[in-house]
Structure 1
Amino acid sequence: MNFFEHQAQAHRESKKLLFLFGLAVIAIVLAVNGTLAVLWIWMKGQYGSGLYTFPRWFFATNTAVTLLFIIGGTLFEMARLQEGGDAVARMAGGRLVMPDSREPQERRLLNIVEEMALASGIACPRVYVMDDEDAINAFAAGYHQNEAVVAVTRGTLARLSRDELQGVIGHEFSHILNGDMRMNVKLIGVLFGIQMLAGFGQHMMEWGARFGGGRSRDEKGPSIQLVLFVFGAALFVIGYIGIFFGRLIKSAVSRQREFLADASAVQFTRNPDGIGGALRKIGGLTRDNQCGSRINHHNAEQLSHMFLGAARPNLLSGLFATHPPIETRLQRLYGRSVTYLDASEIVEDSFANPASAMGFAAGGIDSGANTNPSNLPSPLQLSPLGFHPEFGYRAPEQAAIVADNSQPAPSVKIPTEVVQAARNPQAASALVFALLLDRNDKASYQMQIDILRQAVAQQCALATLLHEAVETMSASMRLPVLDLAMPALKLLSPEQRQQLLGIAARLIAADQIVTQSEFVLQTLLQRRLSPLAGREVGVRYQDLTPLKAETGLLVSLMATTEFEKDAALQAYLRSVKSMPDLGLTQEQFVSREALDFFEVKQALDRFQQLAPLAKPFVIRLMLKAGGEQLSSEGADLLRSICAALDAPVPEVVSASYASIPAL
């Protein structure tokens, strides 16, 4: 199944989710009305009334209040999760790991996440650690891949080797790239609404037990304390209808996706013992405490469908299991039965030397005191194919077939000062400005420096120094560096982000000409840092037919990027002929001189409203127009287009970054 089919399936599962949600609401409303009717009759009998008639609007009021609880709770929780992945990580008790952390275990985790992000061509996710959790578990959360977070337990850091930790992160990156996260976050809000009654009933039982008070001898009927307790107990029981449907929904949505994520982790890392070893240690730890992936946080039930392993022992197996059994997952990975592994904590001294004990490949990322932090891993150390399923995905049963990794991949080196700047919010801002400075035109360069001096005087000098380092890099590393800086840039306040975007726009406009490289950088910055970043965009167009002119514009842009004049037109025609049903002709071709990047931006805004299954056609047409081998400019362009469409980067683009020789 490719990425876009997975997205379409997510839309279908959303309908299933709504159907089950509707059933849960109907069942809860009927149960509440029935219970309150019985309670009313009982109360009448206790007070000796003997009249079993119900007040006017009795059932309508009960229904309205119940719906208010459920729908109001769902809307409240969804509003609370508006921040996306960061809000979910905090719900789980996560602590944000600073991008420049030097704590050995955290540095190892950050390095692995950076490697995965560079290989997959997405913005580096922010990282959280659940300090109070001793078991092995992790999750990814967010509304789309450009604002995802990855969270792991402290036990995951302490108990897993680097290869095993890389397998776990690969598993979570599958959820990021396959679009599972949006569904999972929506599910949190839905489940909160239908499970609210159980929580409210439990509180009423506690109120009745503590504050209900007694009654005098002259009073008839039960005490208020008893009424509160009985009513609370009834609501608590009714609330379990919501929990029943909640677990049913989670089990229906989660289990098959875990198999796919396990298989993807093997493809990403080319090492079945990575995710396999982590699962074997979860199994080994389960022998000691019943659930080696146990989460003790009070929100564990609500978030259980998001985790790598079952969060509670009662979710390990059976009809309502949120995850497949560990034995089954291991059988699929290895093709045979395997034994569990000891999950004792790794001795802290083994993290003392990042270069050796952490198992870093030559040229890997590191910012420890004993190593040079300027060497970034080539994405070829991971499997580009595994990150780009829409252009050739292997079935889960083929996961154990791992590519030969005997030959070391070429390293890609980035200047030390650039890597260090990318991990600090203010320095990362200066790095963005450095990427936009242009010394080829002295007049415009001086105007850019004047803009920086007026707007951010303290960052101006750092930006000029970083620009000297940036100029020593290959042009193809500019966007990966920007991706690397994203966790630090997202630490900026909304006001600081807006200021950054405003200054970037002024630097681009200094010479009154928008170059393609400037357009690409600005597109990525806007998509990842603007106030609208992360917002869900509704589907308005089911296919490319209403967007014929916009499609012609993007295909023309790619053709003119890779070829000159007549060759560009021929590349455009070759591309559009591969999709004759769309009806694109030579009339839709836009020459390089006539291209307007403002129109391209408007086209991308409309493409965001395109149905998931229609998006790959745009990318394939652009790939066809680009020819067999993309230039660095063409790869950067496609990377920015994919970011704007919330689509994975094609393998050929990722490979173009990986093939850069060591500097």
Structure 2
Amino acid sequence: MNFFEHQAQAHRESKKLLFLFVLAVIAIVVAVNGTLALLWLWSKGMHAAGSFTYPRGFFLTNTAVTLLFIVGGTLFEMARLKDGGDAVAQMAGGRLVQPDSRDIQERRLLNIVEEMALAAGIACPRVYVMDEEDAINAFAAGYHQNEAVVAVTRGTLSRLSRDELQGVIGHEFSHILNGDMRMNVKLIGVLFGIQMLASLGQHLMEWGARMGGSRSRDEKGPSLQLMMILLGVALFVIGYIGIFFGRLIKSAVSRQREFLADASAVQFTRNPDGIGGALRKIGGLTRENKCGSRIKNPNAEQLSHMFLGAARPNLLSGLFATHPPIATRLQRLYGRNVELLDAGELPPEIDEAAAMGAAVAGFAPNSAKAQMPAAIAVSTTSFHPEYGYQTAKSSVDMPFANKLSVPATASITRPVAASIPSEIVQAARDPKAASALVYALLLDRSDAASFQIQLDILRQAIPAQCALVSLLHEMTETMSASMRLPVLDLATPALKLLSAEQAQQLLGIAARLIAADQVVTQAEFVLQTVLQRRLSSQAGRDVKVKYAGLHQLPAETALLVSLMASTEFGLEQAEQRFQTALDSMPELSLGAARFVPLAKVDYFEVKQALDKLQQLAPLAKPFLIRLMLKASGKELSTAGADLLRSVCAALDAPVPEVVSASYTSVPAL
């Protein structure tokens, strides 16, 4: 099942979710009205029941208040989770791991996340560690794959080998790439709403218990304290209707996806003993504490559908289990019964300790190692008059380099024509240096006058960083052009550490650097599109579906397909490729689409087109990507691959394998 089919299934499941939610609300409203009616009768004396009438609007008021709690609670929780993965990770008690962390276990985790993100062609997710959780568990969260976070327990870091940790991260990347995260985050809000009555009932019982129980002789019926306690008990019991439906919904949505994620983890790592070993250790730890994936955080029930394994012992098996049994998952992975493994804590791995200073090891732990310098070294002849700064090592402020005292290693898992310099990798992990790296990627020496304007912009806006920008620009000029976007992917976690004001400043300076020559090139447009998608104030927010198909956006579709054809071919052949692409998919009803010559392409209009195309239904998006691939011919140039990657980033869609394969190298991480 590919990403878009999975998204379509998620939308179908959303309808199922909505149906179960409405059913739960109706059941709760009926139960609340029935319970309050009985309590009212009892409080007034059962002897008067024959002639008793309820106050005007009694049932309407009960219904309105109940709906206010449920719907209001759902909307409140969804608003609280508007920032997606970071909000969820913090709910689970996660601590953000700094991209340049020197803790050996954290470095190993960051390395694995980086290597998988770069292989998948998506922004590197932010990483959280749940320090208080000693069991083995993990989850991925977020609304979009380029805005995801990955969180693991401390037990996952200390009890799993590198291969097993790779398997766990591969499992979570399946949820990222298959689009499971959006449904999971929405489910949190829905469950919060329908389970609020149980929480209210619990509070009423506590308040009633603290009240005085005495009353005067003239009072009839039960005391206020008893009424409050009974009402609390009733609401708590009724609230379990919400919990019942919540677990039913979670079990319906979650279990099959775990099988898919396990299989995908094997595909990503090419090692069944990775995720298999992790699951075997969860099973082994379960023999000791009844739940090897137990989460102690109070929000564990609410988040249980997101985790790698069952968060609570009572969710291990049965109709309402959020995850398939470990034995069943292992049977599917290995095709046979396998023994469970001891899950004791492991000593830090020596190779990972050596890799603390730089980038990550590759998928094969035992692959060849190559030494890389730990800090940026600058030639003594690197004086740049156009910058007006001496870039000798002693004069450049490189806070990120000062932390890197341990030599680094690199593992190469496939032949590469070029690699990202280790100094660039270092810079990508520090927020200030990552910002300088972005500016360095946007500098262009091809036009001396425009280049001078760019330098003046930097001197005015960020004088203290100019020397570092100069140094990094010198390095990026020698780097393969196909590495520009992977470098940006690698720098994303560090850039997300910038404050909102700093991020806006970066985007503003980037826009000024691009506008220096009064012309927007495609390479500049691509970088700016990806930056905007990841750092703007709306980054990570959910986007509503507005358009059912490309037939509703023929002009926008034509513009993107025309740009793709013009990127790969000259004018005459580009128009032919455009028409060939449209003719290959007549079912899209794009007869009104017309070729747009490159000379008439306005990148502001391209941006507006992408904003609309982002609101397409999930199953409509792959048709646009297929049209662009059809228009590109058999082989993709670096410019064509970059354009498609930026379009995928704008659409929150995965990068096609043919695009990933077109890059000549991956970082030697």
- TM norm structure 1: 0.91
Out of 599, 607, 622, the position equivalent to 1:593 is: 599
Q: How far apart are the structure 1 equivalents of 2:432 and 2:31?
A: 56
> What residue is the counterpart of 2:483 in the other structure?
477
Secondary structure of the residue aligned to 2:195 is: helix
Is the 2:167–2:274 Cα contact (8 Å) retained in structure 1? yes
Q: How does 1:116-515 map to 2 (within 5 A)?
A: 116-216=116-216, 219-348=219-348, 353-355=353-355, 359=365, 361-362=367-368, 369-372=405-408, 375=410, 381=413, 408-410=414-416, 413-515=419-521
Q: How far apart are the structure 2 equivalents of 1:653 and 1:441?
A: 30
Calculate percent identity across the aligned residue pairs. Answer: 76
Secondary structure of the residue aligned to 1:498 is: helix
The Cα of 1:626 is off from its aligned counterpart by 1.4
> What residue is the counterpart of 2:400 in the other structure?
none
The Cα of 1:560 is off from its aligned counterpart by 1.5
> What residue is the counterpart of 2:638 in the other structure?
632
Q: Structure 2 counterpart of 1:318, which letter?
A: G
The Cα of 1:576 is off from its aligned counterpart by 2.4
The Cα of 1:331 is off from its aligned counterpart by 0.8
Q: How far apart are the structure 2 equivalents of 1:590 and 1:363?
A: 49
The Cα of 1:411 is off from its aligned counterpart by 7.8
Distance 1:22 1:661, change over 3 A: closer
Q: How far apart are the structure 2 equivalents of 1:360 and 1:75?
A: 50
The Cα of 1:482 is off from its aligned counterpart by 0.3
> What residue is the counterpart of 1:19 in the other structure?
19
Q: How far apart are the structure 1 equivalents of 2:62 and 2:593?
A: 64
C-alpha distance after superposition, 1:248-307 (max 9, x if no partner):
000011011111111111111111111111111101111111110000000000000000
Out of 548, 555, 578, the position equivalent to 1:572 is: 578
Q: Structure 1 counterpart of 2:161, which letter?
A: S
Q: How far apart are the structure 2 equivalents of 1:616 and 1:364?
A: 40
> What residue is the counterpart of 2:389 in the other structure?
none
Q: Structure 1 counterpart of 2:276, which letter?
A: G
Q: How far apart are the structure 2 equivalents of 1:362 and 1:573?
A: 48
Secondary structure of the residue aligned to 1:648 is: coil
Q: How far apart are the structure 2 equivalents of 1:25 and 1:311?
A: 26
The Cα of 1:211 is off from its aligned counterpart by 2.9
Is the 2:144–2:181 Cα contact (8 Å) retained in structure 1? yes
> What residue is the counterpart of 1:404 in the other structure?
none
Distance 1:662 1:172, change over 3 A: closer
The Cα of 1:623 is off from its aligned counterpart by 1.0
RMSD: 2.3
Secondary structure of the residue aligned to 2:557 is: helix
Q: How far apart are the structure 1 equivalents of 2:309 and 2:522?
A: 45
> What residue is the counterpart of 2:102 in the other structure?
102
Q: How far apart are the structure 2 equivalents of 1:537 and 1:38?
A: 45
> What residue is the counterpart of 1:386 in the other structure?
none
The Cα of 1:349 is off from its aligned counterpart by 6.3
The Cα of 1:577 is off from its aligned counterpart by 2.5
Is the 1:354–1:360 Cα contact (8 Å) retained in structure 2? no
Distance 1:491 1:352, change over 3 A: closer
Is the 2:550–2:590 Cα contact (8 Å) retained in structure 1? no
Q: Structure 2 counterpart of 1:607, which letter?
A: L
Q: Structure 2 counterpart of 1:567, which letter?
A: Q
Task: Establish whether residue 528 from structure 1 lines up as the match of residue 534 from structure 2.
Answer: yes
The Cα of 1:495 is off from its aligned counterpart by 1.4
C-alpha distance after superposition, 1:11-67 (max 9, x if no partner):
111111111000000000110111111111111228999864321111111111111
C-alpha distance after superposition, 1:516-538 (max 9, x if no partner):
10000000011111112223222
Distance 1:80 1:365, change over 3 A: farther
Secondary structure of the residue aligned to 2:519 is: coil
C-alpha distance after superposition, 1:150-184 (max 9, x if no partner):
00000000000111101111111111111110100
Q: Structure 2 counterpart of 1:159, which letter?
A: R
Q: Structure 1 counterpart of 2:207, which letter?
A: W
The Cα of 1:439 is off from its aligned counterpart by 1.4
Distance 1:205 1:453, change over 3 A: same
5+ long unaligned stretches in structure 1: 382-407
Secondary structure of the residue aligned to 2:623 is: helix
Distance 1:660 1:483, change over 3 A: closer
The Cα of 1:86 is off from its aligned counterpart by 0.3
Is the 1:24–1:245 Cα contact (8 Å) retained in structure 2? yes
5+ long unaligned stretches in structure 2: 375-403
The Cα of 1:585 is off from its aligned counterpart by 7.0
Aligned length: 633
C-alpha distance after superposition, 1:336-366 (max 9, x if no partner):
1111111101024657634599837446999
Q: How does 1:608-619 map to 2 (within 5 A)?
A: 608-619=614-625
Secondary structure of the residue aligned to 1:76 is: helix
Query: 490-499 or 236-245: which moved more?
Result: 490-499
Secondary structure of the residue aligned to 1:222 is: coil
The Cα of 1:120 is off from its aligned counterpart by 0.4
Q: Structure 2 counterpart of 1:469, which letter?
A: M
Q: Structure 1 counterpart of 2:476, which letter?
A: V
